[in-house]
Amino acid sequence: MIHPKATPVACHIQVPVPLHWQDDVKASLDQDDRLGVIEPVPVGETVTWCHRDGYTRRFDEIVADVPNKTKCVDDTLLWSDDIEECFVQACHWLEICGKHDEEIELVAALSIDTLQPITWHMVHVATNSNNYMVKLVEIIENGMPEFRHEMPTELREFFQFREDLYTVDGVVMYKDRIVVPPALRKNVFAILHSAHHGVTSMMSRAESSVFWPEINPDITTLRNECNQCNRMAPSRLSAQPTPPVYPIYPFQCVCADFFPL
């Protein structure tokens, strides 16, 4: 619902659509037009309100005169061409939430209780209980070798990080991050993925606290193997690769990598 005193704002920047998505996008826009979510503007007519992706007004106009209303069902739940069917679907969803409110709270509480915090003492014990972590501590404290092949085979993956490895009270550190022993890595995964975040969010959290040499590929594998995430995540098609441009004469095509200024 638009506030009566709101100032009209129009965005005239077009969003480029890849060729292989044009038919699907056109079909979605036509459906939104039929539902009243968006409306076309005749050619030559001045645009007063315009958003890059359109704005939702499907139910706001219907309940405009209802006092103290709260919009508690998002439009993502309302996938139907018939507005009455959408309303029934929304009511049914709210009824389910109301009947199972206590169960939902209990499940949420149990999921939190199953997360075991990882303490410094746990890391210290796990480090000293693992033979190859004990060897790593000894190598760091006695001085890292100059060449990779001089390290034990199971520890060679740490060689490229040797400049930033050190120990604190028997615990291996990498910069400001704790090097997690193998025995605790499942616990770390449980915490990182407790809210079913994506790869980027989990890596961002890990970069401020925990580390082991293959942590980034392991996080990617964790996300790809999560059945719940694969079932609930939006199924957005990946854009097709752009074919390379073959220049005919020198400097017809110039390419550059991204870089900060």
* DSSP letter for each residue of 147-210: SGGGS-GGGGGGGGGGGGEEEETTEEEETTEEE--GGGHHHHHHHHTTT---HHHHHHHHTTTE
Cα 148 to Cα 150: distance, rounded to the nearest angstrom: 5
232 vs 13, higher pLDDT: 232
Q: What pLDDT is stored for residue 74 in this prediction?
A: 47
Cα 94 to Cα 151: distance, rounded to the nearest angstrom: 61
Q: Which of 36-50, 117-131, 242-256 has the highest mean pLDDT?
A: 117-131
pLDDT bracket for residue 134 (50, 70, 90): very high
* Minimum mean pLDDT range among 132-136, 138-142, 230-234, 244-248: 230-234
pLDDT in tens, 62-114: 445 555 555 444 444 444 556 666 667 667 666 666 665 555 555 555 555 55
pLDDT in tens, 145-193: 999 999 999 999 999 999 999 999 999 999 999 999 999 999 999 888 8
Burial 134-162 (b: 16+ CB within 10 A, else e): eebbebbeeebeeeeeebeeeeeebbeee
Q: What pLDDT is stored for residue 113 in this prediction?
A: 54
- Whether the predicted pLDDT of 58 surpasses 60: no
Residues sharing a CB contact under 8 Å with residue 120, sequence separation 6 or more, in sequence order: 169, 171
Q: What pLDDT is stored for residue 78 in this prediction?
A: 47
- Whether the predicted pLDDT of 56 surpasses 50: no
One of 1.10.10.410, 3.40.190.10, 1.10.340.70, 3.30.420.10 is the CATH number of 120-232, namely 1.10.340.70
Cα 144 to Cα 141: distance, rounded to the nearest angstrom: 8
Domain with CATH 1.10.340.70 in the chain: 120-232
User: For 10, which DSSP code?
Assistant: B
Q: What pLDDT is stored for residue 254 in this prediction?
A: 83
Which residues are 10's β-sheet partners? Answer: 50
111 vs 249, higher pLDDT: 249
User: For 47, which DSSP code?
Assistant: P
Cα 78 to Cα 75: distance, rounded to the nearest angstrom: 5
| Of residues 102, 171, 108, the one with CA closest to residue 141 | 171
For 217, phi then psi, to 5°, come to: -60, -35
Q: What pLDDT is stored for residue 212 in this prediction?
A: 95
